[in-house]
Amino acid sequence: MSGQSLIGEIFEPTKRGLAIGIFLAGTVLGPCIGPVIGGVIVTYRPWRVIFYLQAALVFAALVVAFFVIPTLRPRLRPTSTSHFLSVWDPRPLLRLFRFPNLCLIYLACGTQTFAQYTMITPVRYVMNPRFNLTSPLQSGLFFLAPGFGFVLGSCVGGKWADIVVKRYIKKRNGERIPEDRLKAGMFATLIGSPLGMLLYSWSIQNEVGGMPLPIIGMFISGLAQMAGMSAMNTYCTEIKPGHSVAILAGKYLVQNCLSAAASAVILPFINAIGVGWAGTVATGIILVGAAAVITTAYLGQRMRNAVEGKAEK
Query: Across residues 31-50, what is the average pLDDT?
Result: 87
Predicted confidence band of residue 28 (pLDDT cuts 50, 70, 90): confident
Residue 278's identity, in one-letter code, is: A
pLDDT score recorded for residue 82: 63
Predicted confidence band of residue 139 (pLDDT cuts 50, 70, 90): confident
Predicted confidence band of residue 163 (pLDDT cuts 50, 70, 90): very high
Task: Kindly state which CATH superfamily the domain 2-69+96-312 is placed in.
Answer: MFS general substrate transporter like domains (1.20.1250.20)
**44-88 tens-digit pLDDT:** 888 899 999 999 999 998 898 888 776 655 555 555 666 566 667
Query: Across residues 157-186, what is the average pLDDT?
Result: 92
Query: Across residues 26-42, what is the average pLDDT?
Result: 85
The pTM for the full model equals: 0.87
